Amino acid sequence: MTKPSHLLPSFARRRFGQVAAALATLSLAGLAAAQAPAPAGPGGYPHTGRVVIVVPFAPGGATDIVARLVADELGKRWSTAVVVDNKAGAGGGIGTEYVARAKPDGYTLLLGTQTALSVNPTLLKKISYDVDKDFAPVTQLASTPLVLLASNKSGARNVPELVAAIKAKPDAISYGSSGNGTSQHLTTLMLLNRVGGKAVHVPYKGSSQSLVDLAGNQIDMQFDNMTTALAFAKNGQAKALAVTSAARSPLQPDLPTLAESGVPGFEAVTWLGLLAPAATPAPVVAWLNKEVVTVLASPAVTARLAAQGFTPKPMTPEAFRKFIQDETLKFAELIKTNHVSID
């Protein structure tokens, strides 16, 4: 049976008091933490409704994975629901148009892609949104390079050897892609234009089919995303020659860049960003930028993005708008010069 504190020796009474005070402090600290308000933006945003991030592609892909990671982290910070809504179709056009027409209150956001924002405006004959007029960029989220793969039959052990083969026999080397106007197709055209070579384009309905043919030596080369390409190379089904980013990837630091491999200045990455409808209040856009940039700086988020081959690329809304415009001009020139079209 525990003695009342007034019957304890003086040293014990002092110790009892210290422990009691410490417990009281911990209890108050825990209560304060539990009651600490979640960050709130202008006008109480976003705690007066559910925030939806629209992904213009089907669930399960890299775009969807990144969107759900960002949504989860924002939901934790804000103590409110941040959900992902997949609206696939028309090369990302359906979901992108949906956000362009959404109420500009910050509660409907777009996970924007390179294809929908900077390729489709030139590639498609008809497009139902105007990127400059219909959106308020928040920040770029992340980017990932592609990997140049060569078939084992090609015998190319590095980029110079592959380029030499392309130049030696114009139109004898073939390359695969997921279709006209895809990042794989356009990146290959960029390479061919830079080295002054020609090759035969073999479009497929999906990357998995073209990679099977690459492994089976039916085609000679292909660009593909980091995780898939490195898996093929690791299994010996193809040879990884270079990455398309300006710097080497931490996922495969021994793999050189194309710029290091005899194609100076070459850089081509696929990227994702967050955008709101055009008339969204500027204070909400600025607050969203601050919150998302904070999330992207988290070591845990950086590690999870790296597992998908992505590197965080936070920037200001103004810088992201300029980036989209520059990318659009780059792809417009590439598409027109090479007469790229889709059926």
135 beta partners: 277
Residue 193: which H helix or E strand, with range? helix 183-195
More confident position, 2 or 188: 188
Q: How far is it, in rounded angstroms, from Cα 176 to Cα 309?
A: 21
The DSSP letter of residue 298 is: -
What does the alpha-carbon distance between residue 324 and residue 33 come to, in Å, rounded to a whole number?
A: 40
Contacts of 130 (CB under 8 A, 6+ apart): 100
β-strands 221-225, 51-55 pairing: unpaired
Q: How confident is residue 334, by pLDDT bands cut at 50, 70 and 90? A: very high
**What was the pLDDT predicted at 27?**
47
Burial of 157 per CB tally in 10 Å (0-12, 13-18, 19+) = exposed
Name the average pLDDT for the chain: 89
Class of domain 145-243: alpha beta
Q: Do residues 55 and 63 touch, judged by C-beta distance below 8 A? A: yes
What is the model's pLDDT at position 213? 96
Contact 136, 278 (CB under 8 A): yes
Question: Are 47-144+269-337 and 145-243 in the same CATH fold?
Answer: yes
Q: In 3D, which of 124, 114, 127, 158 has the Cα closest to residue 320?
A: 114
Query: Which residues, at least 6 apart from 287, have a Cβ–Cβ distance to it below 8 Å?
Result: 41, 42, 45
Q: Give the pLDDT confidence of 7-21 residue by residue, as tens digits.
A: 555 544 555 455 445
Distance CA 164, CA 198 (A): 11
- Which of 13-22, 188-197, 318-327 shows the lowest mean pLDDT across its residues? 13-22
pLDDT at 14: 54
Q: What is the pLDDT of residue 49?
A: 81
- CA angle 12–18–22, rounded 5-degree value: 145
The domain spans of the chain are 47-144+269-337, 145-243
Tokens of 299: 């070591």
Q: What is the C-alpha radius of gyration for the chain, rounded to an integer number of angstroms?
A: 26
Look at residue 193 in the predicted model and tell me its pLDDT. 96
Residue 153 backbone dihedrals phi, psi, to 5 degrees: -65, -30
CB 246 within 8 A of CB 257: yes
> Which CATH architecture best describes the domain 47-144+269-337?
3-Layer(aba) Sandwich (3.40)
